[in-house]
Structure 1
Amino acid sequence: MAEVTRPLRVLIVDDDALVRAGLWMMLDGIHGIAVVGEAADGAEVPAAADAHSPDVVLMDLRMPRVDGIAATRALRRRPHPPEVIVLTTFDTDENILHALRAGAGGFLLKDTPPARIVQAVRLVAAGEPILSPQITRRLMDRVATHADAYQRARAALAVLSPREQQVVLAVAKGRANAEIAAELFMSLATVKAHVSAILGKLGLDNRTQIALLAHDAGLA
Protein backbone atom coordinates (compact mmCIF):
# COMPACT_ATOMS: atom_id res chain seq x y z
CA MET A 1 0.00 0.00 0.00
CA ALA A 2 1.34 3.43 -0.93
CA GLU A 3 2.34 5.66 1.98
CA VAL A 4 -0.10 8.49 2.63
CA THR A 5 1.61 11.76 3.50
CA ARG A 6 -0.48 14.12 5.59
CA PRO A 7 -0.61 17.78 4.58
CA LEU A 8 1.56 20.39 6.26
CA ARG A 9 -0.43 21.96 9.08
CA VAL A 10 -0.25 25.78 9.15
CA LEU A 11 -1.25 28.17 11.92
CA ILE A 12 -1.76 31.85 11.02
CA VAL A 13 -0.98 34.49 13.65
CA ASP A 14 -1.84 38.12 12.85
CA ASP A 15 -3.84 40.84 14.59
CA ASP A 16 -5.45 41.91 11.29
CA ALA A 17 -8.52 39.78 10.53
CA LEU A 18 -8.32 40.63 6.83
CA VAL A 19 -4.71 39.43 6.63
CA ARG A 20 -5.64 36.19 8.38
CA ALA A 21 -8.57 35.65 6.02
CA GLY A 22 -6.43 36.37 2.96
CA LEU A 23 -3.68 33.98 4.01
CA TRP A 24 -6.23 31.30 4.91
CA MET A 25 -7.89 31.53 1.48
CA MET A 26 -4.54 31.57 -0.31
CA LEU A 27 -2.98 28.60 1.47
CA ASP A 28 -5.85 26.27 2.30
CA GLY A 29 -6.53 25.39 -1.32
CA ILE A 30 -2.94 24.38 -2.02
CA HIS A 31 -2.22 20.67 -2.38
CA GLY A 32 -0.29 19.34 0.58
CA ILE A 33 -1.06 22.30 2.86
CA ALA A 34 -3.88 22.65 5.37
CA VAL A 35 -4.56 25.76 7.46
CA VAL A 36 -5.59 24.34 10.82
CA GLY A 37 -6.12 27.46 12.90
CA GLU A 38 -5.51 31.13 13.55
CA ALA A 39 -4.65 33.50 16.39
CA ALA A 40 -5.03 37.26 16.68
CA ASP A 41 -2.22 37.85 19.18
CA GLY A 42 0.97 36.23 20.41
CA ALA A 43 -0.72 35.60 23.75
CA GLU A 44 -3.08 33.16 21.99
CA VAL A 45 -0.30 31.19 20.31
CA PRO A 46 0.46 28.57 23.02
CA ALA A 47 -3.19 27.49 23.26
CA ALA A 48 -3.54 27.47 19.47
CA ALA A 49 -0.39 25.37 19.10
CA ASP A 50 -1.70 22.91 21.71
CA ALA A 51 -5.06 22.67 19.95
CA HIS A 52 -3.83 22.36 16.37
CA SER A 53 -0.24 20.93 16.46
CA PRO A 54 0.96 23.02 13.49
CA ASP A 55 4.05 22.17 11.46
CA VAL A 56 4.54 25.80 10.40
CA VAL A 57 3.40 29.06 11.98
CA LEU A 58 3.07 32.25 9.93
CA MET A 59 3.84 34.92 12.54
CA ASP A 60 3.17 38.64 12.50
CA LEU A 61 5.58 40.86 14.47
CA ARG A 62 3.53 43.80 15.76
CA MET A 63 0.64 42.62 17.94
CA PRO A 64 -1.02 44.40 20.87
CA ARG A 65 -0.26 42.14 23.84
CA VAL A 66 2.51 39.64 22.99
CA ASP A 67 4.60 40.38 19.91
CA GLY A 68 5.79 37.88 17.33
CA ILE A 69 9.34 37.73 18.69
CA ALA A 70 8.21 36.63 22.15
CA ALA A 71 5.68 34.22 20.68
CA THR A 72 8.32 32.70 18.40
CA ARG A 73 10.74 32.28 21.28
CA ALA A 74 8.08 30.53 23.35
CA LEU A 75 7.14 28.20 20.49
CA ARG A 76 10.73 27.21 19.78
CA ARG A 77 11.21 26.21 23.42
CA ARG A 78 8.47 23.58 23.19
CA PRO A 79 9.47 19.88 23.13
CA HIS A 80 8.41 19.45 19.49
CA PRO A 81 8.40 23.00 18.14
CA PRO A 82 6.80 24.03 14.88
CA GLU A 83 8.83 25.99 12.36
CA VAL A 84 8.10 29.73 12.28
CA ILE A 85 8.02 32.11 9.32
CA VAL A 86 7.80 35.77 10.29
CA LEU A 87 5.49 37.57 7.85
CA THR A 88 5.53 41.31 8.43
CA THR A 89 5.66 44.80 6.97
CA PHE A 90 8.51 45.78 9.32
CA ASP A 91 11.90 44.76 7.88
CA THR A 92 14.28 46.72 10.10
CA ASP A 93 17.62 45.15 10.95
CA GLU A 94 16.61 44.82 14.60
CA ASN A 95 13.38 43.01 13.77
CA ILE A 96 15.12 40.57 11.44
CA LEU A 97 17.92 39.85 13.89
CA HIS A 98 15.60 39.38 16.87
CA ALA A 99 13.30 37.08 14.88
CA LEU A 100 16.14 34.85 13.74
CA ARG A 101 17.73 34.77 17.18
CA ALA A 102 14.34 33.73 18.59
CA GLY A 103 14.36 30.72 16.27
CA ALA A 104 12.38 31.79 13.20
CA GLY A 105 13.26 29.76 10.13
CA GLY A 106 12.14 32.43 7.70
CA PHE A 107 11.49 36.15 7.35
CA LEU A 108 9.20 37.43 4.61
CA LEU A 109 7.43 40.70 3.92
CA LYS A 110 3.66 40.75 3.53
CA ASP A 111 3.96 41.89 -0.08
CA THR A 112 5.77 38.63 -0.94
CA PRO A 113 4.08 36.94 -3.95
CA PRO A 114 1.71 34.11 -2.95
CA ALA A 115 3.76 31.47 -4.75
CA ARG A 116 6.82 32.48 -2.74
CA ILE A 117 4.89 32.18 0.53
CA VAL A 118 3.71 28.70 -0.45
CA GLN A 119 7.30 27.75 -1.32
CA ALA A 120 8.49 29.16 2.00
CA VAL A 121 6.02 27.03 3.96
CA ARG A 122 7.27 23.88 2.24
CA LEU A 123 10.96 24.75 2.51
CA VAL A 124 10.87 25.78 6.16
CA ALA A 125 8.87 22.67 7.05
CA ALA A 126 11.69 20.64 5.45
CA GLY A 127 14.30 22.46 7.53
CA GLU A 128 15.46 24.85 4.83
CA PRO A 129 15.65 28.54 5.85
CA ILE A 130 13.93 31.16 3.71
CA LEU A 131 15.21 34.72 3.65
CA SER A 132 15.38 37.20 0.80
CA PRO A 133 18.95 37.78 -0.46
CA GLN A 134 18.70 41.52 0.28
CA ILE A 135 17.70 40.92 3.88
CA THR A 136 20.37 38.25 4.30
CA ARG A 137 23.16 40.49 3.05
CA ARG A 138 22.08 43.45 5.14
CA LEU A 139 21.79 41.34 8.26
CA MET A 140 25.13 39.63 7.79
CA ASP A 141 26.87 42.95 7.21
CA ARG A 142 25.44 44.20 10.49
CA VAL A 143 26.32 41.11 12.47
CA ALA A 144 29.87 40.99 11.11
CA THR A 145 30.65 44.43 12.55
CA HIS A 146 30.49 43.22 16.15
CA ALA A 147 33.84 41.96 17.46
CA ASP A 148 32.30 40.29 20.51
CA ALA A 149 29.98 38.26 18.29
CA TYR A 150 33.03 37.19 16.27
CA GLN A 151 34.87 35.93 19.34
CA ARG A 152 31.84 34.06 20.69
CA ALA A 153 31.14 32.45 17.32
CA ARG A 154 34.76 31.33 16.89
CA ALA A 155 34.76 29.76 20.35
CA ALA A 156 31.46 27.98 19.68
CA LEU A 157 32.56 26.55 16.33
CA ALA A 158 35.82 25.29 17.84
CA VAL A 159 33.90 22.42 19.48
CA LEU A 160 32.95 21.01 16.06
CA SER A 161 34.92 18.43 14.12
CA PRO A 162 36.61 19.53 10.86
CA ARG A 163 33.91 17.71 8.88
CA GLU A 164 31.14 19.42 10.84
CA GLN A 165 32.80 22.78 10.19
CA GLN A 166 32.71 22.04 6.46
CA VAL A 167 28.99 21.39 6.74
CA VAL A 168 28.54 24.65 8.67
CA LEU A 169 30.27 26.55 5.87
CA ALA A 170 28.07 24.90 3.24
CA VAL A 171 24.91 25.72 5.22
CA ALA A 172 26.08 29.33 5.52
CA LYS A 173 26.37 29.48 1.73
CA GLY A 174 22.71 28.48 1.43
CA ARG A 175 23.34 24.94 0.22
CA ALA A 176 20.50 22.44 0.59
CA ASN A 177 21.25 19.01 2.05
CA ALA A 178 21.44 17.35 -1.37
CA GLU A 179 23.89 19.99 -2.58
CA ILE A 180 26.05 19.56 0.53
CA ALA A 181 26.08 15.80 -0.02
CA ALA A 182 27.33 16.21 -3.58
CA GLU A 183 29.85 18.91 -2.69
CA LEU A 184 31.38 17.06 0.26
CA PHE A 185 30.99 13.53 -1.14
CA MET A 186 28.64 12.35 1.62
CA SER A 187 25.38 10.49 1.63
CA LEU A 188 22.24 12.53 2.27
CA ALA A 189 21.73 10.66 5.54
CA THR A 190 25.24 11.58 6.67
CA VAL A 191 24.63 15.27 5.93
CA LYS A 192 21.41 15.19 7.94
CA ALA A 193 23.23 13.49 10.82
CA HIS A 194 25.96 16.14 10.75
CA VAL A 195 23.40 18.97 10.77
CA SER A 196 21.58 17.40 13.72
CA ALA A 197 24.89 16.97 15.58
CA ILE A 198 25.86 20.59 14.90
CA LEU A 199 22.53 21.88 16.20
CA GLY A 200 22.89 19.78 19.33
CA LYS A 201 26.50 20.76 20.05
CA LEU A 202 25.87 24.46 19.51
CA GLY A 203 22.46 24.60 21.20
CA LEU A 204 20.80 26.02 18.09
CA ASP A 205 17.29 25.53 16.74
CA ASN A 206 17.68 25.58 12.97
CA ARG A 207 19.89 26.05 9.90
CA THR A 208 19.36 29.79 9.80
CA GLN A 209 21.05 30.11 13.18
CA ILE A 210 23.94 27.95 11.93
CA ALA A 211 24.38 30.37 9.04
CA LEU A 212 24.28 33.37 11.37
CA LEU A 213 26.95 31.84 13.60
CA ALA A 214 29.18 31.12 10.59
CA HIS A 215 28.88 34.72 9.46
CA ASP A 216 29.57 35.92 13.00
CA ALA A 217 32.78 33.90 12.84
CA GLY A 218 33.77 35.38 9.49
CA LEU A 219 33.55 32.03 7.67
CA ALA A 220 31.15 33.13 4.95
Structure 2
Amino acid sequence: MASADLTAVVVAAVGVAGTMGAPLLTQWSRRQEFADAAEREEQRLRQERDERDLQHKRDVYAALNSSARAYRTAAYDFVLALKRGEDPDGSTLDAVRSSYRDQYAQAQMVLPGRALRVASEVNRCLALGYRLVKLLPGRANRQEAWTQAEAWFNKPLAEAVWLLRHALREDLGVIDEFPDLIEHRAQLKAVRRRVEGELDTEQNRPVSDRP
Protein backbone atom coordinates (compact mmCIF):
# COMPACT_ATOMS: atom_id res chain seq x y z
CA MET A 1 0.00 0.00 0.00
CA ALA A 2 1.27 3.39 -0.92
CA SER A 3 2.30 5.77 1.84
CA ALA A 4 -0.44 8.22 0.91
CA ASP A 5 -3.07 5.49 1.06
CA LEU A 6 -1.83 4.31 4.48
CA THR A 7 -1.96 7.85 5.85
CA ALA A 8 -5.50 8.24 4.59
CA VAL A 9 -6.56 5.01 6.30
CA VAL A 10 -5.00 6.08 9.61
CA VAL A 11 -6.61 9.50 9.45
CA ALA A 12 -9.95 7.92 8.70
CA ALA A 13 -9.60 5.45 11.57
CA VAL A 14 -8.72 8.20 13.98
CA GLY A 15 -11.65 10.21 12.77
CA VAL A 16 -14.04 7.30 13.28
CA ALA A 17 -12.63 6.59 16.72
CA GLY A 18 -12.91 10.22 17.66
CA THR A 19 -16.47 10.41 16.44
CA MET A 20 -17.45 7.28 18.39
CA GLY A 21 -15.46 8.22 21.50
CA ALA A 22 -16.70 11.79 21.84
CA PRO A 23 -20.13 10.83 23.25
CA LEU A 24 -18.49 8.39 25.68
CA LEU A 25 -16.08 11.05 26.83
CA THR A 26 -18.90 13.55 27.24
CA GLN A 27 -20.97 10.99 29.16
CA TRP A 28 -18.05 10.19 31.47
CA SER A 29 -17.40 13.89 32.03
CA ARG A 30 -21.03 14.47 32.98
CA ARG A 31 -21.06 11.51 35.33
CA GLN A 32 -17.93 12.87 36.99
CA GLU A 33 -19.55 16.29 37.35
CA PHE A 34 -22.64 14.71 38.92
CA ALA A 35 -20.46 12.65 41.27
CA ASP A 36 -18.47 15.73 42.31
CA ALA A 37 -21.66 17.71 42.85
CA ALA A 38 -23.18 14.90 44.92
CA GLU A 39 -20.03 14.67 47.03
CA ARG A 40 -20.04 18.42 47.63
CA GLU A 41 -23.71 18.30 48.62
CA GLU A 42 -23.09 15.38 50.97
CA GLN A 43 -20.18 17.24 52.54
CA ARG A 44 -22.36 20.36 52.96
CA LEU A 45 -25.16 18.37 54.59
CA ARG A 46 -22.67 16.58 56.86
CA GLN A 47 -21.16 19.91 57.92
CA GLU A 48 -24.60 21.37 58.63
CA ARG A 49 -25.52 18.27 60.63
CA ASP A 50 -22.31 18.51 62.66
CA GLU A 51 -22.96 22.20 63.34
CA ARG A 52 -26.53 21.46 64.45
CA ASP A 53 -25.30 18.67 66.73
CA LEU A 54 -22.68 20.96 68.26
CA GLN A 55 -25.20 23.73 68.78
CA HIS A 56 -27.61 21.26 70.37
CA LYS A 57 -24.85 20.09 72.70
CA ARG A 58 -24.02 23.70 73.62
CA ASP A 59 -27.67 24.39 74.40
CA VAL A 60 -28.00 21.25 76.53
CA TYR A 61 -24.77 21.99 78.40
CA ALA A 62 -25.74 25.61 79.02
CA ALA A 63 -29.14 24.56 80.36
CA LEU A 64 -27.57 21.90 82.61
CA ASN A 65 -25.00 24.33 84.00
CA SER A 66 -27.61 27.01 84.61
CA SER A 67 -30.10 24.65 86.24
CA ALA A 68 -27.43 23.11 88.51
CA ARG A 69 -26.44 26.55 89.75
CA ALA A 70 -30.09 27.53 90.26
CA TYR A 71 -30.74 24.29 92.15
CA ARG A 72 -27.84 24.86 94.55
CA THR A 73 -28.82 28.51 95.07
CA ALA A 74 -32.48 27.69 95.74
CA ALA A 75 -31.59 24.95 98.21
CA TYR A 76 -29.10 27.13 100.06
CA ASP A 77 -31.59 30.00 100.20
CA PHE A 78 -34.06 27.55 101.75
CA VAL A 79 -31.50 26.61 104.41
CA LEU A 80 -30.81 30.26 105.25
CA ALA A 81 -34.52 31.02 105.41
CA LEU A 82 -35.05 28.19 107.88
CA LYS A 83 -32.13 29.44 109.94
CA ARG A 84 -33.74 32.89 110.13
CA GLY A 85 -36.85 31.27 111.52
CA GLU A 86 -38.90 31.76 108.38
CA ASP A 87 -41.26 29.28 106.75
CA PRO A 88 -40.07 29.19 103.12
CA ASP A 89 -42.24 27.88 100.32
CA GLY A 90 -40.90 24.47 99.36
CA SER A 91 -42.67 24.51 95.99
CA THR A 92 -40.07 26.91 94.60
CA LEU A 93 -37.22 24.59 95.52
CA ASP A 94 -39.08 21.57 94.16
CA ALA A 95 -39.75 23.37 90.86
CA VAL A 96 -36.06 24.25 90.46
CA ARG A 97 -35.11 20.69 91.36
CA SER A 98 -37.54 19.29 88.78
CA SER A 99 -36.14 21.59 86.10
CA TYR A 100 -32.59 20.50 86.92
CA ARG A 101 -33.54 16.82 86.80
CA ASP A 102 -35.06 17.29 83.34
CA GLN A 103 -31.90 19.00 82.08
CA TYR A 104 -29.69 16.32 83.59
CA ALA A 105 -31.73 13.58 81.90
CA GLN A 106 -31.28 15.29 78.53
CA ALA A 107 -27.56 15.82 79.12
CA GLN A 108 -27.06 12.13 79.87
CA MET A 109 -27.93 11.39 76.23
CA VAL A 110 -25.07 13.51 74.83
CA LEU A 111 -22.40 13.64 77.54
CA PRO A 112 -19.28 11.56 76.75
CA GLY A 113 -17.78 9.30 79.41
CA ARG A 114 -15.34 11.74 81.06
CA ALA A 115 -17.83 14.59 81.39
CA LEU A 116 -20.67 12.22 82.25
CA ARG A 117 -18.77 10.82 85.23
CA VAL A 118 -18.31 14.34 86.58
CA ALA A 119 -21.95 15.25 85.94
CA SER A 120 -23.08 12.06 87.65
CA GLU A 121 -21.08 12.89 90.78
CA VAL A 122 -22.36 16.45 90.79
CA ASN A 123 -25.89 15.08 90.51
CA ARG A 124 -25.30 12.98 93.64
CA CYS A 125 -23.88 16.01 95.44
CA LEU A 126 -26.95 18.08 94.59
CA ALA A 127 -29.18 15.23 95.75
CA LEU A 128 -27.30 15.21 99.07
CA GLY A 129 -27.88 18.95 99.38
CA TYR A 130 -31.60 18.38 98.90
CA ARG A 131 -31.53 15.65 101.53
CA LEU A 132 -29.81 17.98 104.00
CA VAL A 133 -32.51 20.58 103.40
CA LYS A 134 -35.35 18.13 103.95
CA LEU A 135 -33.83 16.63 107.09
CA LEU A 136 -32.86 19.95 108.62
CA PRO A 137 -36.12 20.80 110.50
CA GLY A 138 -36.28 17.45 112.25
CA ARG A 139 -32.66 16.90 113.24
CA ALA A 140 -31.95 16.64 116.95
CA ASN A 141 -28.81 18.78 117.18
CA ARG A 142 -30.00 21.86 115.33
CA GLN A 143 -26.76 23.82 115.61
CA GLU A 144 -24.71 20.92 114.29
CA ALA A 145 -27.22 20.49 111.47
CA TRP A 146 -26.95 24.17 110.46
CA THR A 147 -23.17 23.99 110.51
CA GLN A 148 -23.08 20.83 108.40
CA ALA A 149 -25.59 22.13 105.85
CA GLU A 150 -23.92 25.52 105.45
CA ALA A 151 -20.50 23.91 105.16
CA TRP A 152 -21.79 21.56 102.45
CA PHE A 153 -23.41 24.30 100.38
CA ASN A 154 -20.59 26.79 100.80
CA LYS A 155 -17.68 24.56 99.81
CA PRO A 156 -18.17 21.02 98.42
CA LEU A 157 -21.39 21.76 96.54
CA ALA A 158 -20.08 25.08 95.25
CA GLU A 159 -16.99 23.27 94.00
CA ALA A 160 -19.19 20.59 92.45
CA VAL A 161 -21.05 23.14 90.33
CA TRP A 162 -17.73 24.77 89.42
CA LEU A 163 -16.32 21.38 88.40
CA LEU A 164 -19.36 20.63 86.24
CA ARG A 165 -18.91 23.90 84.36
CA HIS A 166 -15.25 23.10 83.67
CA ALA A 167 -16.07 19.55 82.51
CA LEU A 168 -18.69 20.85 80.07
CA ARG A 169 -16.44 23.60 78.74
CA GLU A 170 -13.62 21.09 78.29
CA ASP A 171 -15.83 18.76 76.27
CA LEU A 172 -16.94 21.65 74.03
CA GLY A 173 -13.32 22.59 73.42
CA VAL A 174 -13.76 26.01 75.00
CA ILE A 175 -10.86 25.31 77.36
CA ASP A 176 -7.92 22.93 77.13
CA GLU A 177 -8.09 19.56 78.84
CA PHE A 178 -8.45 20.02 82.59
CA PRO A 179 -5.72 17.70 83.95
CA ASP A 180 -7.02 17.58 87.54
CA LEU A 181 -10.64 16.91 86.59
CA ILE A 182 -10.70 13.28 87.66
CA GLU A 183 -8.75 14.00 90.85
CA HIS A 184 -11.20 16.76 91.81
CA ARG A 185 -14.08 14.40 91.14
CA ALA A 186 -12.52 11.73 93.37
CA GLN A 187 -12.02 14.23 96.20
CA LEU A 188 -15.59 15.46 95.84
CA LYS A 189 -16.88 11.89 95.92
CA ALA A 190 -14.93 11.14 99.12
CA VAL A 191 -16.37 14.19 100.90
CA ARG A 192 -19.87 13.39 99.71
CA ARG A 193 -19.66 9.83 100.98
CA ARG A 194 -18.37 11.03 104.34
CA VAL A 195 -21.31 13.41 104.80
CA GLU A 196 -23.76 10.74 103.65
CA GLY A 197 -22.25 8.37 106.17
CA GLU A 198 -22.68 10.90 108.97
CA LEU A 199 -26.33 11.38 108.05
CA ASP A 200 -26.96 7.65 107.80
CA THR A 201 -25.38 7.07 111.20
CA GLU A 202 -27.50 9.79 112.75
CA GLN A 203 -30.71 8.57 111.13
CA ASN A 204 -30.09 4.97 112.18
CA ARG A 205 -29.21 5.88 115.75
CA PRO A 206 -31.90 4.97 118.32
CA VAL A 207 -33.91 7.97 119.39
CA SER A 208 -32.84 7.46 123.03
CA ASP A 209 -29.19 7.79 122.02
CA ARG A 210 -29.61 11.03 120.07
CA PRO A 211 -28.49 14.26 121.74
TM-score normalised according to structure 1 size: 0.25
TM-score (norm 2): 0.26
Q: Which has the higher helix share?
A: 2
Higher relative contact order (CA 8 A, sep 6+): 2
